[in-house]
Amino acid sequence: MKYGTSTAGAFNYHYFKEVGSTNDILAELARKNAPEWTVVLADHQTNGRGRYRRSWHSPAGLGMWLSLLLRPAFDNRQLNFINLLAANTMATVLEQLATTVQQQMVTGLKWPNDVWVGDKKICGILPESSFSGQKLQYIIVGIGLNINQSISDFSEDLQPFATSLKIETGREWPVKLVMTRFLETFRQQYCELVPNQTGRILDDYRKKMLFKNETVNLFLNDQTFSAVVRDIDDDGFLEVDHDGKTKIINSGEFRVQPVRIN
Q: What is the pLDDT of residues 205-215, one digit of tens each?
A: 999 999 999 99
What's the CATH code, domain 212-261? Answer: 2.30.30.100
Least confident of 1-15, 102-116, 228-242: 1-15
User: Could you tell me the residue ranges of all domains in the chain?
Assistant: 2-207, 212-261
Q: pLDDT at residue 53 above 70?
A: no
**What is the mean pLDDT of the segment spanning 154-162?**
93
pLDDT of residue 7: 92
Find which of 75-79, 87-91, 128-132 is predicted with most confidence, using mean pLDDT.
87-91
Contacts 24+ apart (CB under 8 A), 23-26: 23/49, 23/67, 23/126, 23/128, 23/140, 23/142, 25/67, 26/67, 26/68, 26/69, 26/140
Least confident of 61-65, 131-135, 186-190, 254-258: 254-258
Q: Are the CB atoms for 6 and 13 separated by under 8 Å? A: yes
**What is the mean pLDDT of the segment spanning 150-166?**
95
User: Average model confidence (pLDDT) for the chain?
Assistant: 90
Share of residues in the chain with pLDDT > 70 (%): 92
The secondary structure of residue 34, as a DSSP letter, is: P
pLDDT of residue 50: 47
Q: Model confidence at 154, in pLDDT bands (50, 70, 90)?
A: very high
Q: What are the backbone angles phi and psi of residue 198, rounded to the nearest 5°?
A: -65, -20
pLDDT of residue 262: 43
Q: Are the CB atoms for 139 and 129 separated by under 8 Å? A: yes
Does the domain at 2-207 match CATH 3.50.50.60? Answer given as no
- In terms of pTM, does the model score above 0.95? no
**What is the mean pLDDT of the segment spanning 227-233?**
95
